[in-house]
A and B are shown apart, each in its own frame.
Chain A
Amino acid sequence: MAAAAPPLARAPFDRALWLVVPAAAFMVLLFVYPFLYGLFLSFEPKEALTADNYRRFFSDERLWPTIWTTLRLALPATVLNVFVALPIAYKMRTRSRYQRFVTTVLVIPITLGTVLIAEGMLTYFGPRGWLSQFLQFFHLYDGPIRLTHNYWGVLISLVISGFPFAFLLILSYITGIDPVLARAAATLGANPTAQFRHIYLPLLAPGLAMCFCLAFVQAFSVFPSAVLLGAPAGPTRVISIAAYEAAFEQYDYSLASAIAMIMGFVQLIIVAAVLALRNVFYRGPVVGGKG
């Protein structure tokens, strides 16, 4: 019957849509379903639906401060990464040999991953590493250097892995802005500072907000470096360590899911705050200035 109908009488089901089905099904099965499963599990420490896990999290001295510990690492790291990366990326916005070189060098820490960075830092920043020897040799600082197994070690590792990420992301946003706009402003007498302030910054605002969110998400989920470089029992007991311990050391999947949900929720608040802040600074189309 369907074949007999004239093809143009009504829009037939577009068969190309089938192509998206495997991907969508995969994501639902392996991303959405586990997420919802975890959400339900977090409310079911026993048979009935209760909020016990959440109450336990916020009353346990070993659990709720992890939120604060994580934020204390993630927020400074993200702010530092994004706002140092911004001027440097701005300086390198024009295509040049430098740009190619710097981007290539910076991509290395990203691909090496956090675990390798941790191992490198333990060797290099350690009490008998090259940095410490260098500082003592030139008598720049004679005391013992404590940059590993504490807060600073983790913060440095977050900068090492996060800064290149923020830089490359901002650079890709900046190079997407048509330089003709800045040149037009220059013919009207805008100096470089004014060009940045009135042309680039407003057009970059959405990209910057995006970059901040992505960089924050990475820093907030800090795990390997907090264990290897930090003091996972105390000052750098971040929330992902708490979640991991609940799941794989106490086998309390229900509590672990609850912690994962809290983690997602805290992160969502920060992301929402950043996006709201962006709207204060910038209202308009989000497409880069090529239109």
Chain B
Amino acid sequence: MAASGGTIDKRWLDTAWGGLLWGLMAIFVVNIGLMIAAVATSSFARRWLGTWLPEGWTTTWYTAAWKEFQLGDVLWVTVEVVFAVVFLALVIGVPAAYTLARRNFIGKRALMLLFLLPLMVPPITYGIPLATVLYKVHLAGTIWGVILANLIPAAPFVILVMTPFIEQIDANLESAARVFGASTLRMFWHVLVPLLAPGILAASLLVLVRTIALFELTFLTAGPDSQTLVVALYYAVFAAGVRAPQSVDAMAMIYMAVTLVWLLIALRFVNPTQLVSRVKEHPRAA
């Protein structure tokens, strides 16, 4: 009797526990959804003061936001910065990841640490000294300063995503190419790049999504002509009293649309967990 009573209690407890977890999750997700919906509603609202839904609907806030915040220029800067960062991060990161995946050498662990540190230190800590240095060499405030600053977390991220990816490619394929007399360059181009293509695609999409959202480094290094979308949004919210809240919300929606398009593309090719992980905390033992 006591035993069966115990199991029933336990089963009830399990259900309650499961329900609690699902409940927490549901509250979280529903509130996030409503939060986004609130911004969307406000961006289309003619006037919205303390009622469930606005009094009327309009799309004028989008055109207003577009003009007020010079979103055309801002979007173009964002595109330039993001694609330059992705391209340069791949050019720097993929070869380095190859060597780290294939070779063992003295100082490899130190090198891994060097690539891990920027991902573990908050951007503000190195962003402020970096901005100081960039001001000294007159790069701060220019688009190049922003690109360089954004590369600091992007390049190590490519390395950390690509290293395990390269490790799983059979090294014998490279040896075979060598046996048939391929030079390093040809081997890289004809054997490795095709095999690496899925990994490179994943890495570039991940870097792209992360760079669009990265605020601090751009904020610290950007000038008036080199703001990306997220920094422009920050200033818009910061000076919210000056402008109609709907216009800021319209801008937020534009920012969200830009991010979500790329996120959806990215999620077709990568697992969501890859956005935060694949940071291999311990280099493989030599």
Contact = CB atoms under 8 A, between A and B. Distances in A.
Contacts of A168: 272-273, 275-277
A116 B273 CA distance: 21
B102 to A, nearest CB: 7
Nearest to B214: A113
B125 A263 contact: yes
B42 A123 contact: yes
A110 B276 contact: yes
Interface in B57-100: 91-93, 95-96, 98-100
A23 B129 contact: no
B284 to A, nearest CB: 9
Contacts of A106: 29, 272
B256 to A, nearest CB: 6
B96 A22 contact: yes
Contact of B99 (A16, A113, A114): A16
Contacts of B237: 115, 118-119, 122, 228
B161 interface: no
Contacts of B165: none
Contact of B118 (A19, A27, A213, A220): A27
B132 A221 contact: no
Nearest to A286: B282
Interface string A226-248: 01100000000000100110011
B213 A88 contact: no
Given A14-B105, A112-B259, A169-B277, A27 B272 contact: no
Contacts of A131: 31, 34
Contacts of A227: 238
Interface string A108-142: 11111111111111111100111101000000000
B132 A38 contact: yes
A23 B95 contact: yes
A165 B223 CA distance: 30
Contacts of B149: 30
Contact of A23 (B117, B155, B249, B281): B155
A31 B122 contact: no
B95 A20 contact: yes
Contacts, number: 258
B95 to A, nearest CB: 4
Secondary structure type dominating chain B contacts: helix
B267 interface: yes
Contacts of A69: none
Contacts of A35: 126, 129
A20 B259 contact: no
Nearest to A118: B237
Contact of B38 (A124, A160, A163): A124
Contacts of A123: 35, 38-39, 42, 245, 249
A20 B210 CA distance: 23
Contacts of A16: 98-99, 102-103, 184
A2 B224 CA distance: 55
B194 interface: no
Given A26-B155, A111-B213, A267-B122, A169 B50 contact: no
B259 A111 contact: yes
B252 interface: yes
B143 interface: no
B202 interface: no
A17 B38 contact: no
Given A23-B159, A168-B275, A91 B21 contact: yes
Interface in B116-135: 117-118, 120-126, 128-133
Contact of A37 (B14, B129, B249): B129
B152 A31 contact: yes
B207 interface: no
Interface string B261-286: 00100010001111111110110000
Given A27-B118, A123-B35, A112 B213 contact: yes
B24 A84 contact: yes
A264 B121 contact: yes
Contact of A119 (B93, B159, B233, B278): B233
A291 B120 CA distance: 27
A187 interface: no
Contacts of B152: 27, 30-31
A124 B98 contact: no
Contacts of B133: 33-34, 37
Interface string A249-291: 0000100110111011001000100000000000000110000
Interface of A: 14-17, 19-20, 22-24, 26-28, 30-35, 37-39, 41, 84, 87-88, 91, 102-125, 128-131, 133, 160, 163, 165, 168-169, 171-173, 175, 192, 206, 210, 213-214, 217-218, 220-221, 223-224, 227-228, 240, 243-244, 247-248, 253, 256-257, 259-261, 263-264, 267, 271, 286-287
Q: Which 9 A-B pairs have the closest CB atoms?
A: A38-B129, A221-B122, A113-B213, A23-B96, A19-B95, A172-B277, A103-B272, A172-B273, A120-B35
